[in-house]
A and B are shown apart, each in its own frame.
Chain A
Amino acid sequence: MSTQATERTSRLHRPTPTRRRRRSRWQNVKENRWSYFYIAPFVILVAVFTIYPIIASLGYTLYQWNGIGSPTAYVGLENFRKVLHDHIFWRSFGHTFLYTAVLVPVQLFLALVLALVLNNKRMRFSTFYRSVYFIPAVISPAIIAVVFQLLFSNFGQNIDSKLMSMHLMHKPVDWLGDPHVVLWVIIGIGIWNTLGYNLVYFLAGLQTIPEDLYEAATIDGAGVRQQFWHVTIPGLREIGMIILFLAILGSLQVFDLVQVLTGGGPFYASSVVNTYIYQEAFGGGFSAAGGGGGASVQPNVGFASAASFFYGLILLVITGGQALAMAYMRKRRREMNAAAIEEARL
């Protein structure tokens, strides 16, 4: 057989790179089929309840539609134009960011302080206290909202009387009906409600910091404050970033607490983006307390989809920022580790 013939034959039998890749990918899937099987339910749920609605809502953004029957009134990009010019949307947007801007730092600070206290091995009953602080986090925000709504609306006068008798106020306050107060009440409840999560995250983070570092720092003469700034904080930096971004995203998506507590009222004074989108999408108005003003808003699924999509883009940018920050931190850590190893070698 000539060399040419041999080459031709071998070319014929040689799998093309693409085919080889395909086969190896399939083999990979086959070998790990149980892994894929286990993640299938999650993928299906995400596809049905997250990805499909996103894609479907994109279509709805182009229609004036009340959610009944098939959308027929095509309006093009009009819904997006309306969102951009809708002062109530932007007001809700502002409330959402205020909620986040206040809740996140306050809550993270409190969670860190409590975590430091509860991480003290000499503290008795620390497990009990951890449970106590975590309890609000496992209660549905809707239930919490109902309870606080009863407390502030129906028994608000009792609170007022007490505070007035202590000369802390000179006139009664409608806690969920006063537009200057209501959002702060919600923020306060929000801080209390999810504090437990961040407390547990910080506790987990604190427990990953090697004890040796504190011992070494003590031997080097570092005090408690110096240990906090030079051992604890660097040790928590990475998990702290995760906690921070989770807290920001969670706050930006606040919904159930506001919806049940005030429905966004009175007159949108506590409306956040998600309650506004919900009310536009499903009609109805301010529900529970809060002087809702019971906006009897009619369902406008097209507009709500546009608002939702627009807001989703903003959240996407924040999530992207989170990913970049994490990548930057990992890179920096790698560089620092490499530098430390190099220094040790020298």
Chain B
Amino acid sequence: MQAVAAASAAAAGPALAGCRAAPASSGNPGGGNKKSSGGGAGKVVYWDWYVSQSPWVKNEVNLFQAANPKIQVNRTVNATGAYDKLFNLAQRSHNAPDVFMITTTTVPLNDQVQKGWLLPVNQYADSAWVHQFPEYTFAEGSNVFNGKIYTAPISSTSAWVQLYINTKVFKDAGLTNGDGSVKIPKTWDDITHAAEQITKKSNGSVYGLGFGNSSFDILPWWVEIMVRGAGSPGGNGGQDLRTGKYTFGSDRNYKDVLDLIMEWKSKGYFYPSSLSISDEIARAYFERGKFGMTVGGVWNQPEWTDHKFTDYTLTSLIGPQEKPKSYFYSQPGGTLFAINANAKDPEAAFKWFSWLYSPEAGKRWVQKFNEDLSIFPADDDPSKISFKPFGEYVALRDLVLPGPQPWIKNPHTSQVVVNPVTPNFGNITTGIYSGQIKDTGKALTDLDGKMQQALETGIKQAQGKGLKVSLSDYAFSDWDPTKAYKWPIPKYPSL
């Protein structure tokens, strides 16, 4: 399972999918260049939103420029929340960067391709460049459109959110095993017990749980790790691909988890200002031991390491029982960096693009900077990972299975534009937590209705454009969420 999972490309992890990423291709960094004349000199304007991953990016820029002294990479790191807006404004004003992280919040990737924003890399990438990636890294409808490659993932899928546990807080609360190690919560009840013990033993000076919800809705991350373990394969996206239906309201796991969160809140287990502090502040407070547990991703780790805070452990997929009833799911394809179709020096841009995707950069990504898994399984060698919490994160690869995707069944579904629903699930979780939504069940059922309606409208509009898509493309009735799904697509695209 581990091998399959590692080979599968990442693309999951909604909100901060961009917070993870990973390196590049080309066995020979900067190489793999089909049309390269060995030139490529000039300036490459490069945008990303990597803040906690900045050390890796800076290092790669330095190494790249040392290897390619004629090319200057001008990097702009943007705020995650503003990136989509800035990128789209840059496109409108014809000032888009040469190489950039893809954002699809406003304009879906296939739309961006249709608008001619992205440069297909086929003209620069050769077969060796493509085949250095694991099988299923490229897939029509994900990062390949009409046989042209536009982007690739740099990370393989892991359990993208984890429950972080402050070891000192746990030890102070007496939450230890016989051997002195901390008792890692494995079930919902374990979390409840740990939160209660921490809050009570500290007389209210330390809280069991905490999060920072102000910059974006982070509560869905809590739901994600808890409902998946309980057997809801749609996670915080809510769509169960066994039926193709949204199940926030009909699957009682969602309500149970939200009720449990509200119970924790009412008992005072949560840090009181969790709604109004940002995720960054919440991470700092976790580090200082203001609360014992928080939910976050591997992108938390570099910052904590910088602050010399390493006394924590992590876990994921926590259900009512220890054995998860569904998992995280990987899919073929994946996206991260792309090249502007109007890049001033496309050859130089491809060199930088290719450098980011090189196995060497991937190795540094995983082994030196401990940012995330690499798309190259060999880079994820646990024996070469010395930092324990990051090693624990890498081990969570076992919680990832290949899963079904509508666009694999019918690539035309990638052109179905489903308009967002307001309020969305994230808004609703905040509404419930803040006490503004009293009837959780009704709110979730209403959301199902709206999301189903939005999907059906999107399908109808796509059908109106002549695309052969239907609701049945979203249903995989033979799928067993506890087993790896076999993807019926070619392992590599033909160039």
Q: Which residues of B contact A293 (CB under 8 A)?
A: 213, 217, 426-427, 429-431, 434
The reply on A141 being an interface residue by CB < 8 A is no
B272 contacts A266, C-beta separation under 8 Å: no
**Chain B residue nearest to A282 in the complex (CB):** B85
| Cβ-closest chain A residue relative to B285 | A154
Which residues of B are found within 8 Å of A321, using beta-carbon distances?
A: none
Do A283 and B426 form a contact, CB below 8 Å, given A265-B214, A294-B214? no
Q: Could you mark each residue 111-154 of chain A with 1 if its beta carbon is under 8 Å from any beta carbon of chain B, else 0?
A: 00000000000000000000000000000000000000000111
Interface flags for B201-221 (1: CB within 8 Å of A; 0: not) read 000000000000111111000
A190 located at the interface, meaning its Cβ lies under 8 Å from any Cβ of chain B in the complex = no
Interface size class of A (residues with CB under 8 A): 35 or more
Q: Using known A-B contacts A67-B88, A284-B84, determine if residue A292 contacts B272 with beta carbons closer than 8 Å.
A: no
Chain A 210-246 interface 0/1 with B at a Cβ cutoff of 8 Å (1 = within): 0000000000000000000000000000000000000
Contact between A157 and B215 (Cβ–Cβ < 8 Å)? no
**Complexed CA–CA distance, A293 and B275 (Å):** 8
Partner of B91, one of A68, A283, A297: A68
Q: Most chain-A CB neighbours within 10 Å: which of B427, B429, B433?
A: B427
Query: In the complex the two chains form, what is the Cα distance from A284 to B87 in whole Å?
Result: 13
Query: What's the least CB distance linking A94 to chain B, in Å?
Result: 14
A153 touches B423 (CB 8 A): no
Interface residues of B, dominant DSSP: loop
The size class of the interface chain B forms with chain A is 35 or more
> How many angstroms from the CA of A293 to the CA of B425 in the assembled complex?
10
Question: Which residues of chain A are within 8 angstroms of B105 by Cβ–Cβ distance?
Answer: 283, 296, 298
Complex Cα distance A45/B121, Å?
A: 44
Contacts of B107 in A (CB 8 A): 66, 68
A270-293 CB contact bits vs B (8 Å, 1 = yes)? 000000000000111111111111
Contacts of B277 in A (CB 8 A): 153-154, 289
The stretch of A97-105, A175-183, A201-209 that contacts the partner chain: A175-183
Query: Considering residues B274, B278, B419, which has the most beta carbons from chain A within 10 angstroms of its beta carbon?
Result: B278
Q: Are A267 and B431 in contact (CB under 8 A)?
A: yes
CB within 8 Å of A: which of B251-274? 268, 272-274
User: Are B215 and A287 in contact, with the CB atoms below 8 A?
Assistant: yes
The reply on A174 being an interface residue by CB < 8 A is yes
CA distance A157 to B273 in the complex (A): 8
Look across to chain B and name the residue whose beta carbon is closest to the beta carbon of A67: B88
Quick check: is B177 within 8 A (CB to CB) of the other chain? no
- Tell me how far the C-beta of A178 lies from the nearest C-beta in chain B, rounded to whole angstroms: 7
Pairwise interchain contact B420-A296, C-beta atoms closer than 8 A:
yes
Closest A-B pairs by Cβ, 7 of them: A177-B275, A291-B275, A294-B216, A293-B430, A177-B276, A267-B431, A176-B276
User: Contact residues of A with B, CB < 8 Å?
Assistant: 66-69, 88, 152-154, 156-157, 160, 171-179, 262-263, 265-269, 282-299
- For the A-B complex with A177-B273, A294-B218 known, give 5 more contacts whose Cβ atoms are closer than 8 Å: A68-B106, A153-B278, A172-B272, A267-B437, A269-B436
